[in-house]
Each structure stands twice: as structure tokens, then as C-alpha cells.
Amino acid sequence: MNTLKIVGLALMLTGTVAAKADGSVLYGMAGVYSVAKTGHNTFTNTCGDARCQVLVVYLPLGAQIQQVQCLSNIDWGRAGDLPHGQLKLAECGKDGAWAIFDPIVIETTPTNTIVRSTFHNRSSDWDRDVELLVRYTIG
């Protein structure tokens, strides 16, 4: 069974999405994942020094991607973070607040369209919640 939940302005779908061929807007997601703090100061995005989470969304072949959104509980530009589970949009590929989502990569395999990014948490004292949301249509 699919479950819809609304957090802020983002619509997220949890569960498996059955693709429809009628042009309906569908959602695929990876997350919500909690990415641990580093416990030390780091200026590198190297996984192992920074804490990393790979976010991958598998879509059916022929998916026409409408939008990709990176979400986190980081309160970009403000002191501190939002409570865990309270996510807001983050600019994919933008470095800030001791964290970054890598730029979005879209690949096609013989069976899927794959959308992915890696989140790097460099914060010494904040665990971060992250999610990747893909809005797409079929046909």
C-alpha cells in the first residue's frame, strides 16, 4: 500500500509506485535517511572523513523526469537544524551548512532509469536527515 504524507510544500510517497501509462504524475523517493555527525571538524567531502549517504531512485524505463528535489532538515543559512523528520528543500549541488548533496546524476540501464546523488555531512555536531524525491510521468 502506498502512503502519502505532506511535509511543508513537498509531497512524498512511501512504498512502491506502480507506473501508469496515462501521463499521471508519479513520485519516486530515496530516504528518509539519518546521516551521523562526524564528531570532528572536516573540510573534505571524502566519505569516511565526512559521513555520506548515497541516495538512489529507480524509475521504470521511459520515465520522463519532471523534477528532482534534494531535501534535508538543515535550516540553510540559519544557526542549528530543523527537528528530525522536518525536511525542507535543499539546492542539489550547493555547498553550505557543513554539508552538500552532490549534483544529480541520471543514468539509464537496460531495465531502469536511475537518479542518484550522494549527501556528505561534514558537521561535527549535527546528525542530518536527507531524502531524494523525483517527480516523473510515464508515456
Instruction: Give the CB-side neighbour count of residue 122, counting CA atoms within 13 A.
Output: 13
Give the tens place of pLDDT for each residue, 97-133.
899 999 999 999 999 999 999 999 999 999 999 999 9
CB 90 within 8 A of CB 74: yes
Per-residue confidence (pLDDT) for residue 22, from 0 to 100: 52
Q: How confident is the model at residue 3 (pLDDT cuts 50, 70, 90)?
A: very low
pLDDT at 131: 97
Residue 94, number of CB atoms within 10 A of its CB: 13
pLDDT in tens, 62-105: 999 999 999 999 988 777 899 999 999 999 999 988 999 999 99
pLDDT tier at 10 (50, 70, 90 boundaries)?
Answer: very low
Of residues 8 and 106, the one with the higher pLDDT is 106
What's the chain's average pLDDT? Answer: 85
**CA 1 from centroid of its chain's CA atoms:** 22
pTM: 0.81
User: pLDDT of 11-63, one tens digit each?
Assistant: 333 333 434 445 688 999 998 999 999 999 899 999 999 999 999 999 999 99
